[in-house]
Amino acid sequence: MFKTSICDILGIKYPILQGGMAWAATAELAAAVSNAGGLGIIGAGNAPGDYVRTEIRKAKKMTDKPFGVNVMLLSPFVNDVMDVVYEERVPIITTGAGNPGKYLERFKSIGTKIIPVVSAVALARKMEKEGVDAVIAEGTESGGHVGELTTMALVPQVVDAVNIPVIAAGGIADGRGLISALAFGAQGVQMGTIFVCAAECTAHTNFKKAIIKAGDRATIVTGRVTGHPVRILKNKLARKFEKLEEANCGAEEYEKLGVGRLRAAVVDGDIDYGSVMAGQISGLVKEIKPAKDIIEDTIKEANEVLKAVRALSREE
Ligand SMILES: Cc1cc2nc3c(=O)[nH]c(=O)nc-3n(C[C@H](O)[C@H](O)[C@H](O)COP(=O)(O)O)c2cc1C
């Protein structure tokens, strides 16, 4: 079953979180994951509060299990979104791109669990001091915004550095990944790329097919010049980004090219000039299947892997 402390803290059956992905993680996906025993998370991205409220209310109708909202701290609507999440009493918030410190007191007072994504030990330590409930240590393998450290190097170092539960993310899409994360001392995993290919994910079929077609070297990190690097599938947009980088353009021009590109890929299916955020694990994602199967197959495989590893350590 792999019952860990994170299952108790979040009130979930399996220690599996579905990444709160801008545009891709709508109420449909979050509810399906929560109904299957994981933690579904709605991605607020750069969307305004009204959009997020609609998704939260839809999810409430589709599941009676806990679910969360991922708040992008760089969003122009961040305060608006935080107000909505507070008013709707969503029990769990994950945050991307920064330090949610200034929101903690308000949410603590109503028992909301706050779980920031971190890509380095220093931020994990700082977050623990500020009183967050857990951290998601996300390696550079992951789709979307990334740091520099790999999951394999980052997770054990964060586990050693803090006393709160750590959730591993980046490059995990099956039972082997789950067992590795638990072996590193993580209390659970967050998976993103594979959940884009869940049947319930409302992302455009072109986006899903692009992930299924992708091999191990299909992604590239763009946007280092802006200070907010992003991992996407290599396509015509990625090439344009590369050209801007080669030309040593400033962050402003670079950012201008990125505006609206994720929505174009996820909602409109523009996989040539859209930002097809996906992780290095895309090569392992081979089919579209229900969220329940993604979770149950992961748990089943994790049990098999555990048995196989145990067999290796038997005495002669
Ligand atoms: C399409 C896409 C959009 C994402 N958007 C966000 C986001 O808005 N906020 C966030 O914290 N993480 C975001 N992520 C990261 C995921 O939540 C998750 O941590 C990551 O995908 C895990 O690594 P994996 O892709 O290797 O499974 C996104 C990932 C993808 C693939």
Q: Read off the pLDDT of residues 73-116 as tens digits, 9 standing for 90 and up.
A: 999 999 999 999 999 999 999 999 789 999 999 999 999 999 99
- pLDDT value at 316 more than 70: no
Long-range contacts from 74-82, C-beta under 8 angstroms, 24+ separation: 74/46, 74/98, 74/228, 75/44, 75/45, 75/46, 75/47, 76/46, 77/44, 77/46, 77/47, 77/48, 77/49, 80/48, 80/49, 81/44, 81/47, 81/48, 81/49, 81/52, 82/106
Q: What is the mean pLDDT of residues 279-285?
A: 98
Q: How far is the CA of 253 from the centre of ligand 1 (A)?
A: 24
43 pocket-lining for ligand 1 (C-beta < 6 Å): yes
Short-list 89, 95, 103, CA closest to 123? 95
177 pocket-lining for ligand 1 (C-beta < 6 Å): no
Tell the residue number behind the tokens 């992905």, with chain if given. 21
116 pocket-lining for ligand 1 (C-beta < 6 Å): no
Short-list 96, 137, 141, CA closest to 279? 141
Q: How far is the CA of 310 from the centre of ligand 1 (A)?
A: 32
69 pocket-lining for ligand 1 (C-beta < 6 Å): no
Q: How far is the CA of 168 from the centre of ligand 1 (A)?
A: 12
Q: What is the distance of C-alpha 149 from the center of its chain?
A: 16
299 pocket-lining for ligand 1 (C-beta < 6 Å): no
Strands 230-233 and 40-43: unpaired
Q: What is the mean pLDDT of residues 41-63?
A: 97
Q: What is the pLDDT of residue 303?
A: 97
For the record, the structure tokens of 50 come out as 């009204």
Q: How far is the CA of 230 from the centre of ligand 1 (A)?
A: 10
201 pocket-lining for ligand 1 (C-beta < 6 Å): no
Percentage with pLDDT > 90 across the chain: 89
* pLDDT band with cut points at 50, 70 and 90 for residue 315: low
What residue's CA is closest to ligand 1, atom 4? Answer: 21
Q: What is the mean pLDDT of residues 111-132?
A: 96
193 pocket-lining for ligand 1 (C-beta < 6 Å): yes
SS (H, E, C) the chain: CCCCHHHHHHCCCCCEEECCCCCCCCHHHHHHHHHCCCEEEEECCCCCHHHHHHHHHHHHHHCCCCEEEEEECCCCCHHHHHHHHHHCCCCEEEEECCCCHHHHHHHHCCCCEEEEEECCHHHHHHHHHHCCCCEEEECCCCCEECCCCCHHHHHHHHHHHCCCCEEEECCCCCHHHHHHHHHCCCCEEEECHHHHCECCCCCCHHHHHHHHHCCCCCEEEECHHHCCCEEEECCHHHHHHHHHHHCCCCHHHHHHHHCCHHHHHHCCCCCCCCCCECCHHHHHCCCCECHHHHHHHHHHHHHHHHHHHHHHCCCC
What is the average pLDDT score of the chain?
95
Q: How far is the CA of 21 from the centre of ligand 1 (A)?
A: 5
Q: What is the mean pLDDT of residues 126-144?
A: 97
Q: How far is the CA of 314 from the centre of ligand 1 (A)?
A: 38
| Residue 163 near residue 146 (C-beta atoms within 8 A) | no
| Residue 103 near residue 131 (C-beta atoms within 8 A) | no
Q: Read off the pLDDT of residues 260-269 as tens digits, 9 standing for 90 and up.
A: 999 999 999 9
277 pocket-lining for ligand 1 (C-beta < 6 Å): yes
197 pocket-lining for ligand 1 (C-beta < 6 Å): no
174 pocket-lining for ligand 1 (C-beta < 6 Å): no
Pocket test for ligand 1, best of 46, 193, 206, 298 (most atoms within 8 A of CB): 193
190 pocket-lining for ligand 1 (C-beta < 6 Å): yes
* Ligand 1 atom nearest to 41, measured from its CA: 17
